[in-house]
Structure 1
Amino acid sequence: MKERRLQDDLAQLKRDEELQELEKKVQKNADLYRDLFLEALDGIIFWNNEEGIIEANESACRIFESSEQQLKNKKLEDFVCLSQKKYSKVLNELKQKGSVRDSLVFLMPNGQKKILEFTTKLHSVDGHHMTILRNVTDSYKMEQELRKREAKFRSIFECSIEGIILWNNQFEIVDVNPAVEELLNETKHALIGQSILSILARNKMTREHIKEQIQLHKYTEQSSGILSLTLRNGENLDVEYSTRRNVFSKLNLTTFRDITAKLKMEEQLRKSDTLSVIGQLAAGIAHEIRNPLTALKGFIQLLEDMIKEDHSMYFSVIKSELNRIDSIINEFLILAKPKVVQYIDSDIVNIMKDTIELLKPQAVLHNVQFKFEVEDEIPTIVCEPNQLKKVFINLIKNAIEVMPNGGFITINLRLLEGKEILISIQDEGEGIPPEKLQMLGEPFYTTKEKGTGLGLMVSYQIIDEHNGQIEIESVQGKGTTFLIRLPTRKDDRQNEGIHKHPNDYR
């Protein structure tokens, strides 16, 4: 019996010890939760519908800039700016789900407004509701500022006149602005994700140039230069570019703009400057040479009549060379001597026919035949007939001289959309290499052994004065075609005599 009682006492003692240990654990957990509640960086508030706020930690007091005593018995909704449309939505979600996470604007007791992000759970602890709050006013303002800046930079990106490409270190295009779409004649959707190198390659950039760009990207933070591209529609572009590596988020930025027109204008100005110098030089040369040349011609004629021995071959060579000098001086004078040009209504078909008849004897000597085609009914144009005839003579003579073994010169006239007359003069010579082709029309540049280069330059100037254009197409081994475009419409300049001089085109 005593043994039984002793066992019961020991069991009770053990239970008491376990209970004490459990109470210690509970107290320890309570202390832990109390510490978490008090020291939490987020504001924590316990509340119920009847009494309002029951308890608030220090962080909550800092957020509301009030003491716990001042917050007690107040209702959270008293601090909410009720004018917010989303407030009713938040309440409905809380009632339906028993919890909600959102953000609202709260009005602090001191009148300050704060944006608080919160999580609320109903009947969380001992039947009380719990709300955890965090002040996100500053981060919200920062986010809004970032969005404004992003919108601002996006606007600049989209509206920039210069093309802008964003691409990663694998050369993949991440974004392009509308200027790029317009310049490359491709959509953003088609460009994004493609390699910028493949874009350059399909726009006919050479492999060597692409390799050069890759090396620049590897070893320099910033690079710039000029690229020459040929688009898929055949259009040639010169673009000036600038690239910066790692502008942000491991992305690279390239800006570029079309400078094709700028380079053409600079080239025209350079030619204009050259023409100006030539004009001044020509006036002096022509004056100094023409007088003694006239004397030489006269004395040669006298000697030929006086000398009885047969030296006709020598006299023929001398007179031929003197005539060539005289012809060069005349070309100089066209460049140097200001003169009034009278434009009249003329039949360009007849001007071309007269030119062909004039050059037929020379063509026969070189075993060259003419094919003359008029495709449409060609209207008359306002022009200076003798100047246009000079252009036609220069180009057709050149065509005859590049075919020493004979062949055909095809001359074609047609009307383009009623606005332009297109005149093509095509030979069957050896053609002109690309590097020489772009030099044609330069002062003193010629592909002929005894040429001066002035004839083609004068032809360019005359066509320019008629508001026209000269283009050259050439395929080596097949021949060269000169294309002359002349407008059919009249303008004020062509209706009256005008004082022409190379300096007028500066």
Structure 2
Amino acid sequence: MNVEYESVSNQEIIRLNQHIEEYEEMFNSIIEPLIMLDENLSFSYVNEAACLMLELSREKLTELRLTDFLEESSFFDFDSLEDSSLKSAHKGKRRVQLLTGTVKELEFIRIGTLTKGKSVFRLEDVSKVEPVEENLMSPELLLGNGEEEGEGILLMDRQGVVVEANSAFTEGLKINKRELIGKKMSELMTYEYEPTVKKGVDKIFSTLKSMGELEVTLHGKPCRFSFSTSSTVGNEYFKSTFSKITESKIMEKKLETSERIFAELFDQSMEGIIFWNEDGIIFRVNQSACKIFESTREEMIGSDTWKYIFKKNHYFKRMLATFERDGQVRDDIFYKMPNNQIKLLELTAKKYEGDGYNVTIFRNATERWEIEKELRKSEKKFRKIFEGSMDGLILWNKEGFTDINESGKVILGISKESLLSLSIQEFIEKIPGNADELSAYMEDVYKKGIYSSVVALKFADGSVKHIEFLTRSNLYSNLNLSVFRDVSKNLEMQEQIRKSDTLHVVGELAAGIAHEIRNPMTALKGFIQLLEDMVQEDFSTYFHIITSEIQRIETIITEFLVLAKPQALQYQEQDVQMIMKETLELLAAQALLNNVRFETDFEGDESNVFCEANQLKQVFINIIKNALEVMPDGGIVRIKSSQVSKKHVCISIIDQGNGISEDKLKKLGEPFYTTKERGTGLGLMVSYKIIEEHNGYIEVESEVDKGTSFHIFLPLRGKAQGTFTR
């Protein structure tokens, strides 16, 4: 055969280059990861998707072998790939460890053999469920090795020494046959092809055949040949057939290889691919497209590419306008299949104006769309639950807050925007009085996973709320969920129940002993009076002390009886200001002895309430006497009466004593609690009970070293038996 160098016109080369570029651009639309391996498992070619999957650049991968990622190197037998019986798809799974440390389970699917010793594989990551992002293919996959033309025949012995050559070989190399005989073949090769020759020789001895390409220098210029070597009968010599590779043949082989690879990839692609002309008529489809559109290839070819669109609305028209303007478009749109099934398809369309055709790649996104729809529905449902919860809910982590519901904003008195702008530390600094307690609570959350506690939060306005927190750490994606509620009223109610239980016990105790004590006390009082008349000596001082103490005991017994059972009292509408004036007249003498002056400030002429006057007097006396006793050096007791609303009147008694600390203030009104040396604690307890029976309540304010204020709230012109709400 003729092995002379063939000249090729520039126009033909340009045409071939254009075809190759078109196929390369076509392959860029295929998103599967592809690799080309030689017989040594070295990477000859990788596309961008494969680089993304193997987490390395193309330059780095082509320097490596597949065995650099595998525990075992014997994954494929490349010699067997030449066997025509193994041309069917070959699959295998291997666990690979990338250079970044990532471990993946990859499936290798052989989709074709480009040249002897080189095969193309599609990779699938079966270690995860998320689809690999679509990546454009690199043009290297389209490169081939060329075709044979102009055969030269060479005979070599086992040491690679030329023993015979035909004229086609010597003429092609322009070398004298005598000069050739006796030389080793490696002496004719350029330096970089010496390893190829050695590798080919080694393979000849192991498999009795080899093929490939090599380069020789002809008159100072390199020239490439393809060769095929096999053993002769008896295996004494090896016969090599050489064909000179011209530039035209190289380009044609590249084109042929690209066409073959494209055809295989086109039909095996998991994405649907359709080609359509400028009139919108489909002229080529792959099997995946037929499956997506629930149609046969014959039904799709010749049909309008947009006939399956579900609704040609403004959204569709906008997509078409983008395609016409930019020459390409990527979008999601609904299609109606011939069986009336509605599918959401993700499409990528590109226009090739010069060649008169367009290509569209489809992916069925229906399942993803349905999942997203369910997720949106679930998110909406849980958002309603989150926002509608009566308890406060906060999502947070170590860095800050991510969400809070409406109830939480009300309880904490903060807007969502303000809270989300704060870090955890900044939030704690806003309530410095609770910094240590909150920090300890968060530490317990991370230690125990689930933790509950009640924290008394002191706000900037001075108010205090008892907040019960229940937190689960790492509920989702390193987020902690805190459920909290304001239990201040619950704690107050519990305290009232405790006091009520104590009063009940005291009442039962009073009912049991009051009458038993009163009878002997009556006799004792009578005999003391007789004894006082009979004794001649002057013991009046002693008798006075005994009589006053007996009267004090009777007073305590009377207070006990008030607690023992409800009194049969007659409520009448009376002026509470008049009752207070009468009380002040009774205590005027005692106030004068203690150097205390009364100052009154009564708003309006009268404030009528339904009450039992004597009981209110007892309340006023108890509180005013306490005020006199806490001012041994004298002072002023101010009494104010004011209408705080249309239905309520407030009586305030303000002294200038030493005041009461906050911890003691909470215990006022409890049975037997007193701050006086000889007090019983019954006076205020009885006063609280009387006001409660009048549907009122008492509030106390005090500041140490400045004094104490008692505020008595009573309903105006309302029946005492009715309900009175603070």
Indicate conservation of the 8 Å contact 1:197/1:210, yes or no.
no
**Contact 2:695–2:722 (Cα < 8 Å) also in 1:** no
Residue equivalent to 1:354: 582
Tell me the residue number matched to 2:251: 22
1:48 corresponds to which of 254, 264, 277: 277
Corresponding residue number in structure 1 for 2:396: 167
Candidates 441, 461, 471, aligned match of 2:689: 461
Cα deviation for residue 150 of structure 1 reads 1.1
Q: SS of 1:452's equivalent? A: coil
2:140 aligns with none
Residue identity opposite 1:473 in structure 2: E
1:214 and 1:107 mapped to 2: Cα distance? 55
> Alpha-carbon deviation of 1:192?
2.0
Q: Does 1:317 align with 2:560?
A: no
Shift in Å, 1:453: 1.1
Structure 2: which amino acid aligns with 1:472?
V
| 1:337 maps to which of 557, 562, 565 | 565
Listed as ranges, the gaps of 5+ residues in structure 1 are 1-5, 496-506
Pairs within 5 Å for 1:174-213: 174-196=402-424, 198-199=426-427, 202-203=430-431, 205-213=433-441
Q: 1:11 to 1:43 in 2, by over 3 A?
A: closer
Closer/same/farther in 2, CA of residues 203 and 339 from structure 1, 3 Å limit: same
Q: Residue 55 and residue 494 in structure 1: after superposition, are their counterparts in 2 closer, same or farther (change >3 A)?
A: closer
**Structure 1 equivalent of residue 348 of structure 2:** 119
* TM superposition shift of 1:199: 4.2
Q: What amino acid does structure 1 have at the position aligned with 2:444?
A: L
Partner of 1:502: none
Structure 2 equivalent of residue 3 of structure 1 = none
1:52: Cα distance to partner? 2.9
Match of 2:512? 284
Q: Compute the displacement of 1:378 (Å).
A: 3.8
Kept in 2: contact 1:121–1:130 (CA 8 A): yes
- Cα deviation 1:355-381 (Å, max 9, x = unaligned): 111112222332322222224444322
Q: Root-mean-square deviation (CA), in Å?
A: 2.6
Task: Provide the residue aligned with 1:149 in structure 2.
Answer: 378
Which of 698, 701, 711 in structure 2 is aligned with 1:483?
A: 711
Q: Whole-Å Cα distance in 1 between the matches of residues 721 and 279 of structure 2?
A: 95
1:174 maps to a residue whose letter is T
CA displacement at 1:200 relative to structure 2? 5.1
Which of 512, 522, 544 is residue 294 of structure 1 equivalent to? 522
Of the two structures, which has the highest relative contact order with CA contacts closer than 8 Å and spacing of 6 or more?
1
Give the match for residue 304 of structure 2.
75
Instruction: Indicate the percent of aligned positions where both proteins have the same amino acid.
Output: 46
Residues 1:386 and 2:614 aligned together: yes
CA distance in 1, matches of 2:364, 2:6: 55
Inter-partner Cα distance in structure 2 for 1:122 and 1:247: 49
Structure 2: which amino acid aligns with 1:104? I
Q: Deviations over 1:219-240 (max 9, x none)?
A: 2322211122233344332221
CA contact (8 A) 1:378 1:415 kept: no
Aligned ranges 1:32-43 → 2 under 5 Å: 32-43=261-272
- Counterpart Cα distance in 1 of 2:611 and 2:428: 44
Q: 1:319–1:196: structure 2 CA closer, same or farther, 3 Å change rule? A: farther
CA 277–16 in structure 1, closer or farther in 2 if over 3 Å, else same? closer
**1:197, 1:329 → 2: CA distance?**
58
C-alpha deviation, 1:85, in angstroms: 4.9
* TM-score, normalised with respect to structure 1: 0.89
SS in 2 for 1:206: helix
Equivalence for 2:453: 225
Greater C-alpha Rg: 2
The partner residue of 2:369 within 129, 137, 140 is: 140
Q: Give 1:257's aligned residue.
A: 485
Q: Which deviates the most, 291-300 or 61-70?
A: 61-70
Single out whichever of 99-108 and 445-454 deviates more from structure 2. Answer: 99-108
Query: Structure 1 residue aligned with 2:260, among 15, 23, 31?
Result: 31
Shift of 1:421: 2.0
Q: Residues 121 and 129 of structure 1 are in contact (CA less than 8 Å); yes or no, is this contact kept in structure 2?
A: yes
The answer to whether the 8 Å contact 2:473/2:481 transfers is yes
Report the Cα distance in structure 1 between the residues aligned to 2:474 and 2:253, rounded to whole angstroms: 59
The counterpart of 1:364, out of the listed 579, 592, 603, is 592
CA separation of 1:74 and 1:398: change in aligned 2, threshold 3 A: same
Q: How many residue pairs end up in the alignment?
A: 488
Distance 1:374 1:189 in 2: 48
Aligned-pair CA distance for 1:454: 1.2
Judge which range, 324-333 or 365-374, deviates more. Answer: 365-374
Find the counterpart in structure 2 of residue 243 from structure 1: 471
CA contact (8 A) 1:79 1:108 kept: yes
Cα distance per residue 1:87-122 (max 9 Å; x no partner) = 333333333433222222222233322111111223
Q: Cα–Cα, structure 1 residues 204 and 102, in superposed 2: closer, same or farther, change >3 Å? A: same
81-90 or 466-475, which deviates more: 81-90
Mean CA deviation greater in 190-199 or 419-428: 190-199
SS at match of 1:44: strand
The question of whether the paired residues in 2 share the 8 Å contact of 1:45 and 1:56 is answered with yes
The alpha-carbon distance between structure 1 residues 205 and 254, as it changes in their structure 2 partners (threshold 3 A), is: farther
- Label 1:452 to 1:198 Cα distance change in 2 as closer, same or farther (>3 A): farther
Q: CA deviation at 1:139?
A: 0.3
Q: Is the 8 A contact 1:344 1:384 kept in 2?
A: yes
AA at the equivalent of 1:137: T
In terms of mean alpha carbon deviation, does 359-368 or 280-289 score higher?
359-368
Which SS does the other structure have where 2:721 is aligned? helix
Cα distance in 2 for residues equivalent to 1:180 and 1:129? 57
> Take 1:166 and 1:234, find their aligned partners in 2: how far apart are those partners?
27
The answer to whether the Cα contact below 8 Å between 1:382 and 1:494 also exists between their aligned partners in 2 is no
In structure 2, distance between residues paired with 1:276 and 1:333 = 12
Aligned partners of 2:599 and 2:639 also within 8 Å: yes
In 2, distance between residues paired with 1:346 and 1:199? 53
The letter for the 1-side match of 2:270 is: L
- CA positional deviation for 1:248: 2.2
> Matched residues in 2 for 1:82 and 1:368: separation?
93
Q: CA 1:378–1:185 in structure 2 vs 1: closer, same or farther (change >3 Å)?
A: farther
Which is worse superposed, 388-397 or 157-166? 157-166
Equivalent residue letter for 1:394 = N
| Structure 1 position 64, deviation (Å) | 2.4
SS where residue 306 of structure 2 aligns?
helix
1:411 is matched with 639
Q: Is residue 303 from structure 1 mapped to residue 515 from structure 2 by the alignment?
A: no
Following the alignment from structure 2 to structure 1, what is the Cα–Cα distance between the partners of residues 318 and 508?
87
**Is the deviation greater in 212-221 or in 468-477?**
212-221
Among 77, 82, 90, the residue aligned to 2:319: 90
Q: Post-superposition shift, 1:286?
A: 0.7
| Superposed displacement of residue 67, structure 1 | 3.6
Matched residue, 2:497: 269
Structure 2 CA distance for partners of 1:11 and 1:194, relative to 1, 3 Å = closer
> Residues 130-171 of structure 1, C-alpha deviation per residue, up to 9 Å, x if partnerless?
11000000000011111111111111222221111222212x
* Equivalent pair of 2:695/2:721 in contact (CA under 8 Å): no
In 1, distance between residues paired with 2:424 and 2:306? Answer: 57
Is this contact kept in 2: 1:343–1:494, CA < 8 A? no
Distance of 1:10 and 1:50 partners within structure 2: 45
- 1:395, distance to aligned residue in structure 2 (A): 0.2
Q: Distance in 2 between matches of 1:425 and 1:492?
A: 22
- Could you tell me which runs of 5 or more consecutive residues in structure 2 were left unpaired when the two chains were aligned: 8-171, 173-222, 224-243
Report the secondary structure of 1:209's partner residue: helix
In structure 2, C-alpha distance between the alignment counterparts of 1:494 and 1:240, rounded to whole Å: 33
The answer as to whether partners of 2:398 and 2:424 remain within 8 angstroms in 1 is no
1:378 touches 1:421 (CA, 8 Å); kept in 2?
no
Q: 286, 293, 298: which one pairs with 1:57?
A: 286
